[in-house]
Structure 1
Amino acid sequence: MAFLSAAVTRINPSATIAVTQRARELAAQGRDVISLGSGQPDFDTPDNIKDAARDALARGETKYTPVAGIPELRRAVADKFKRENGLCYDPADTIVSSGGKQIISNAMLATVDEGDEVIIPAPHWVSYPELVCLCGGTPVILSTSLEANFKIRPEDLERAITSKTKWFIFNSPSNPSGVAYTENELKSLTAVLLRYPHVWVLVDDIYEHLVYDDFKFKTIAQVEPRLADRTLTMNGVSKAYAMTGWRIGYAAGPSQLIKAMEKVQSQLTSGPCSIAQWAAVEALNGPQDYIKRSRVAFQERRDLVVSMLNQAKFINCPKPEGAFYVFPSCRGAIGTRTPSGRVIQSDKDFVTELLNAEGVAVVHGAAFGLSPNFRISYAASLSDLRSACERIQRFCGSLRSS
Structure 2
Amino acid sequence: MAFLADALSRIKPSATIAITQMARDLKGKGKDVISLSVGEPDFDTPQNIKDAAVAAIARGETKYTPVPGIVPLREAIAAKFKRENNLDYKPTQTIVGTGGKHVLFNAFMATINPGDEVVIPAPYWVSYPEMILLCGGTPVYVTTKIENNFKLTPEELDRAITPRTKWFMFNSPSNPSGAAYTWAELKALTDVLMKHPHVWVLTDDMYEHLVFGDFVYTTPAQVEPGLMDRTLTMNGVSKAYAMTGWRIGYAAGPDKLIKAMELVQGQQTSGACSIAQWAAVEALNGPQDFIPQSRKVFEERRDLVVSMLNQASGLKCPKPEGAFYVYPSCAALIGKKAPSGKVIETDEDFVMELLATEGVATVHGSSFGLGPNFRVSYATSNAALEEACRRIQRFCASIA
SS at match of 2:397: helix
- CA positional deviation for 1:6: 1.4
The CA distance in 1 between the partners of 2:198 and 2:366, in whole Å, is 30
The CA distance in 1 between the partners of 2:144 and 2:389, in whole Å, is 26
Matched, 1:166 2:166: yes
Per-residue CA deviations over 1:308-356 (Å, capped at 9, x if unaligned) read 0000000000100000000000001101101221100000000000000
Matched, 1:193 2:193: yes
The aligned counterpart of 1:257 is 257
The aligned counterpart of 2:58 is 58
The aligned counterpart of 2:329 is 329
Matched, 1:366 2:366: yes
Matched, 1:279 2:297: no
The aligned counterpart of 2:233 is 233
The CA distance in 1 between the partners of 2:341 and 2:378, in whole Å, is 30
Q: Which runs of 5+ in 1 are unaligned?
A: none
The aligned counterpart of 1:138 is 138
- CA positional deviation for 1:2: 2.3
Amino acid at match of 1:163: P
Amino acid at match of 1:126: V
The aligned counterpart of 2:18 is 18
The CA distance in 1 between the partners of 2:320 and 2:31, in whole Å, is 31
Q: How does 1:101-180 map to 2 (within 5 A)?
A: 101-180=101-180
Matched, 1:343 2:339: no
The CA distance in 2 between the partners of 1:158 and 1:145, in whole Å, is 16
SS at match of 1:58: helix
The aligned counterpart of 1:31 is 31
The CA distance in 2 between the partners of 1:339 and 1:304, in whole Å, is 26
The aligned counterpart of 1:384 is 384
Q: Which runs of 5+ in 2 are unaligned?
A: none
Off by >6 Å, runs of 4+ in structure 1: none
SS at match of 2:372: coil
- CA positional deviation for 1:120: 0.2
The CA distance in 2 between the partners of 1:8 and 1:97, in whole Å, is 23
The aligned counterpart of 2:354 is 354
- CA positional deviation for 1:52: 0.1
Amino acid at match of 1:35: S
The CA distance in 2 between the partners of 1:283 and 1:340, in whole Å, is 48
Amino acid at match of 1:374: F
Amino acid at match of 2:362: V
- CA positional deviation for 1:148: 1.6
Q: How does 1:218-229 map to 2 (within 5 A)?
A: 218-229=218-229
Matched, 1:268 2:284: no
Amino acid at match of 1:102: H
Amino acid at match of 2:204: D
The aligned counterpart of 2:302 is 302
The aligned counterpart of 1:207 is 207
**Identical counterparts, % of pairs:** 69
Q: How does 1:80-91 map to 2 (within 5 A)?
A: 80-91=80-91
SS at match of 1:73: helix
Amino acid at match of 2:143: S
The aligned counterpart of 1:76 is 76
SS at match of 1:345: coil
The CA distance in 2 between the partners of 1:367 and 1:71, in whole Å, is 39
The CA distance in 1 between the partners of 2:11 and 2:4, in whole Å, is 12
The CA distance in 1 between the partners of 2:270 and 2:175, in whole Å, is 28
The CA distance in 1 between the partners of 2:179 and 2:380, in whole Å, is 19
The aligned counterpart of 1:43 is 43
The aligned counterpart of 1:288 is 288
The CA distance in 2 between the partners of 1:390 and 1:2, in whole Å, is 50
- CA positional deviation for 1:276: 0.1
Amino acid at match of 2:349: D
Amino acid at match of 1:48: N
The CA distance in 2 between the partners of 1:339 and 1:293, in whole Å, is 41
Amino acid at match of 1:198: H
Amino acid at match of 2:30: G
The CA distance in 2 between the partners of 1:291 and 1:338, in whole Å, is 41
Using the size of structure 2 for normalisation, the TM-score is: 0.99
- CA positional deviation for 1:3: 1.0
Using the size of structure 1 for normalisation, the TM-score is: 0.99
Per-residue CA deviations over 1:134-182 (Å, capped at 9, x if unaligned) read 0110000000111121011101111111010000000000000001000
Per-residue CA deviations over 1:109-148 (Å, capped at 9, x if unaligned) read 0000110000000000000000000011000000011112
Amino acid at match of 2:109: L
The CA distance in 1 between the partners of 2:338 and 2:297, in whole Å, is 35
Per-residue CA deviations over 1:209-238 (Å, capped at 9, x if unaligned) read 000011000000000000000000000000
- CA positional deviation for 1:8: 1.5
Amino acid at match of 2:176: P
RMSD: 0.6
The CA distance in 1 between the partners of 2:119 and 2:223, in whole Å, is 20
SS at match of 1:336: coil
The aligned counterpart of 2:317 is 317
